[in-house]
Chain A
Amino acid sequence: MADGTVIKPDLDFVKGVIDGGGESLKKCYQCATCTVVCNVTPDQNPFPRKEMVWAQWGLKEKFMGNPDVWLCHQCNDCTVYCPRGAKPGEVLGAIRKQSIKQYSAPAFLVNLVNNKALSWLIFLVPAVLLGVILSADGAFFPAEEEIKFSFFASTLTIQLVFVPALTFGFAVGIMGVMKFWADMKKAARVTSGNLGGSISATATEILSHIKFKSCGVSADRFTAHFLVLYSFIALGIATGIGVLYIDILHIESPFSLTGTGFPVKIFGAVGAAGLLLGAFLMMSNRFKNAEKVGSGSYFDWLLITIIGVIAVSGILSWLTRIAGLAPVAYSVYFIHLVFVLSLFVYLPYSKLAHLFYRSAAICFIKYSGREKR
Chain B
Amino acid sequence: MSEQQKTVLVIGGGFSGLTAAVETAEAGFNVVIVEKTPFFGGRVTQLNKYFPKLCPPNCGLEINFKRIKNSADITFYTQAEVEKISGQEGNYDVTIKLAPRFINDKCVGCNACNEACPVEIPNEFNFGLDKTKAAYITHNQAFPFKYVIDGKACKGKACSKCAEACKYDAIDLDMKPETVNLKVGAVVLATGWDLYDVSKLDILGGGKIRNVVTNMQMERLAAPNGPTGGKILRPSDGKEVKNIAFVQCAGSRDENHLPYCSYICCMASLKQATYLREQYPDSKVRIFYIDIRTPGRYEQFFWKVKEDPNVTLTKGKVAKIEEDTRTGDVTLVVEDVMSGKKIKEKYDMVVLAAGMVPSTKASKIPGDISYTDEGFVMAGALKKGMFAVGTLKSPVDVARSVQDATGVAIKSIQSARRS
Q: Which residues of A contact B (CB under 8 A)?
A: 29-33, 35-37, 41-46, 49-50, 81, 83-85
Contact = CB atoms under 8 A, between A and B. Distances in A.
Contacts of A45: 340-341
- B interface, size bucket: 20 to 34
B318 A36 contact: yes
Contact of A36 (B257, B333, B340): B333
Contacts of A32: 316-317, 319, 334-335, 337
Interface in B250-277: 253-257
A44 B255 contact: no
A81 B203 contact: yes
B315 to A, nearest CB: 8
B255 A35 contact: no
Given A32-B337, A35-B342, A43-B341, A85 B255 contact: yes
Nearest to B319: A36
Task: Determine the main DSSP class of B at the interface with A.
Answer: loop
B341 A33 contact: no
B341 A36 contact: no
B249 interface: yes
A341 B341 CA distance: 45
14 contacts: A30-B290, A32-B316, A32-B334, A36-B316, A36-B318, A36-B335, A41-B342, A42-B342, A43-B342, A44-B340, A45-B340, A46-B342, A49-B337, A81-B203
Given A31-B290, A31-B316, A32-B317, A37 B203 contact: yes
User: Which of B255, B256, B334, B335 has its CB near the most chain A CB atoms (within 10 A)?
Assistant: B335
Contacts, number: 60
B320 interface: yes
Contacts of B317: 31-33, 36, 83
B353 to A, nearest CB: 13
A30 B335 CA distance: 10
Contact of B342 (A30, A36, A84): A36
B68 to A, nearest CB: 42
User: Which of A29, A30, A42, A46 has its CB near the most chain B CB atoms (within 10 A)?
Assistant: A30
B346 to A, nearest CB: 16
Contacts of A37: 203, 319-320
Contact of A46 (B256, B290, B340): B340
Contact of B256 (A30, A35, A83): A83
Interface in B152-194: none
A49 B318 CA distance: 13
Contact of B335 (A46, A81, A85): A46
